[in-house]
A and B are shown apart, each in its own frame.
Chain A
């Protein structure tokens, strides 16, 4: 069984108020390393056996159609062992 991971992030030019709130909270807790924080989404999709190129192409299509909104977001698809 393999896991296909789809990471979705807001495009850099889209304001991410959640990321801004997290980056404002970090220094209050004494964590001073962050110049900025952006928050995204991660989808873990389990499939039987090794994913085939056709399956990955389908996942790409699903990501573009449903998992991400290409108007404001970008996504990556990868296989995690």
Chain B
């Protein structure tokens, strides 16, 4: 199974995302933002970083990159798509996920190990976890505050589409401590913290993040 990892100008975490995909037993394929070609991949990861320098709004320009047209079509057709950090921002800008990510409520850039609770395991990217399971993975962002209107929030809560919440103090002011959400179909997931930096204890604080990448493998095998 092939997992594409997109590199935009300013992307930082593409190598770690590719390494995580490989570690989980899938084949990582590098995708370039300027090529409208998915190279036959079965799933795509939009990694973290500062694509296009975060100019205008985070993810606002990347969302219109040539590769994104293909990704949006494929995701609408059911292809698993994970956006991490900046990738989550791109997914919101592309309207594949509702809401938006805004400046952290206390303006600080955060970089720390963060405890999360997994709150849905019915998506393509979270099936390896138990609901209620607590995991620790790095959180590093300046604009990670998930915002949406009340109706959207009620819909996300009502439909069980919040896939992870921050445990303890709310680090960035996200509504209802939301760390990650999914679309109605469960194939598109956006997550602010970084599972790709926590796939083994040699390079990360835990191996808790690996489950995101093994989940998509089992989703494709099914």
Q: Determine chain B's interface SS by DSSP, over half rule.
A: loop
Q: B102 touching A14 by the CB < 8 A rule? A: yes
Q: How large is the interface on B (under 10, 10 to 19, 20 to 34, 35 or more residues)?
A: 20 to 34
B204: interface (CB < 8 Å): no
How long is the Cα–Cα vector from A8 to B121 in the complex, in angstroms? 38
Q: A69 touching B93 by the CB < 8 A rule? A: yes
How long is the Cα–Cα vector from A72 to B152 in the complex, in angstroms? 12
Shortest CB-to-CB span from B145 to chain A, Å, is 7
How long is the Cα–Cα vector from A66 to B56 in the complex, in angstroms? 9
B34: interface (CB < 8 Å): no
Q: Which residues of A contact B104 (CB under 8 A)?
A: 17
Q: For chain A residues 14-47, which have a beta carbon within 8 Å of chain B?
A: 14-18, 21
Bits for B95-112, please: 1 = Cβ < 8 Å to A, else 0.
000111011111100000
Bits for B39-69, please: 1 = Cβ < 8 Å to A, else 0.
0000000000000000011001100100000
B206: interface (CB < 8 Å): no
Q: Which residues of A contact B103 (CB under 8 A)?
A: 16-18
Shortest CB-to-CB span from A25 to chain B, Å, is 12
Can you list 7 contacts pairing A with B, beta carbon distance less than 8 Å? A15-B173, A67-B56, A69-B57, A71-B98, A71-B99, A71-B100, A71-B148
